[in-house]
Structure 1
Amino acid sequence: MAHLDDDNTKVWELAEKIGFCMLTTQSGLDLRARPMSAYSERDENAFYFLTDVASHKDEEIARHPNVCLAFADSKGQKYVSISGTADIQNDRENIRDLWATPAKAWWDSPEDPSIRILKVTPSSAEYWDSPGTIISYVKMAAAAVSSARPDMGDNAKVEM
């Protein structure tokens, strides 16, 4: 059980450190991804996003609540993919609590009536945590010469 707890903690730590993700929703038969600033609440097992009531993602989530959050730190070679269920909320107090600098690019204040909260409750995740780009290239080159598989760091699938 300790290893599962460690993997779960690793997912949250990587997502929190990276901060921005690509939110993927289903639009008809197509999948659509867009960058979003994530607010992690590990104690609530939830990720929160501020969104606009007029955005298409609200309609997409109403029809297809299953989403994917893809966090990527390509320089550090750290990645997290989180699957979960999303819903849209109009909790004005929580909107004020989540208000931060990224939101100021879209709205003048947390009192804007068009702001909504997108809450994602994760069900599963997978992470990849390698030692970094340069070390990874060195390990791949060494493995190519020796015909051995390189140790590219940690990878785990996690139930959340």
Structure 2
Amino acid sequence: MSDITREDALKKIGAMIKDVKFAMLTVQSDNGHLKAHPMTTQEVEFDGDLWFLGGKDTEQVRNMAARPQVNVSYSKPDKGIYVSVQGTAALVEDRAKLDELWNDMYKAYFPEGKDDPNIQLIRIEAHGAEYWESDGKIRSLLGLAKGLLTGTQAKQGENERVSL
């Protein structure tokens, strides 16, 4: 576990997930299985909370209401960046926050726009994260090849766990 400050951890994770269009949000189903769904990443500064919009009538939202422990995964394979954030989901009613997050693209899911009664704001309070960051594809492949040829462990970049 890294001993960097919370502020530094938030900056690091925020920089890594910035510009990742979609995340995978994993919930636990009624039968105990893990189930992941793609979610659109909101364009807000990461302050320890992640925000998403979902449908009140969806299995995913029902699962979060019953079992709020979730995981959100981000990846930028072309940049060698992978982030896993664990946290607690809260189903929030907040018109000002909805106004802040709203994009007309959501009309595809919520035909009545911001007034659609099915819109559910989802706030994930992050408790910790783990990330993997490599120097890029070529260096990673060279490190892997060197490890295979020399029988040593491949150097694949940086891996840290941080508390939030």
With the length of structure 2 as denominator, give the TM-score of the two structures.
0.86
**Counterpart in the other structure of 1:65:** 68
Q: What is the distance in 2 between the residues matched to 1:148 and 1:59?
A: 47
With the length of structure 1 as denominator, give the TM-score of the two structures.
0.88
Detail structure 1 runs of 4+ shifted over 4 Å in the superposition: none
Match of 2:28 among 9, 26, 45: 26
CA contact (8 A) 1:14 1:78 kept: yes
Corresponding residue pairs, total: 159
Query: Which range moves more in the overlay, 58-67 or 4-13?
Result: 4-13
Tell me by how many angstroms 1:46 deviates. 0.5
CA contact (8 A) 2:24 2:38 kept: yes
Q: Please list the CA deviations of residues 77-104 of structure 1 after superposition, one character each: whole Å capped at 9, or x if unmatched.
A: 2100000000111212211110125423
**Counterpart in the other structure of 2:145:** 141
**Counterpart in the other structure of 2:50:** 47
The alignment partner of 1:10 has SS state of helix
Q: For 1:25, give the aligned amino acid.
A: V
**Counterpart in the other structure of 1:16:** 18
CA contact (8 A) 1:38 1:48 kept: yes
**Counterpart in the other structure of 1:80:** 83
CA contact (8 A) 1:8 1:158 kept: no
Q: For 1:114, give the aligned amino acid.
A: N
**Counterpart in the other structure of 1:3:** 4
CA contact (8 A) 1:7 1:156 kept: no
For structure 1, the 5+ residue unaligned runs are: none
More strand by share: 1
For structure 2, the 5+ residue unaligned runs are: none
Query: Which range moves more in the overlay, 33-42 or 126-135?
Result: 33-42
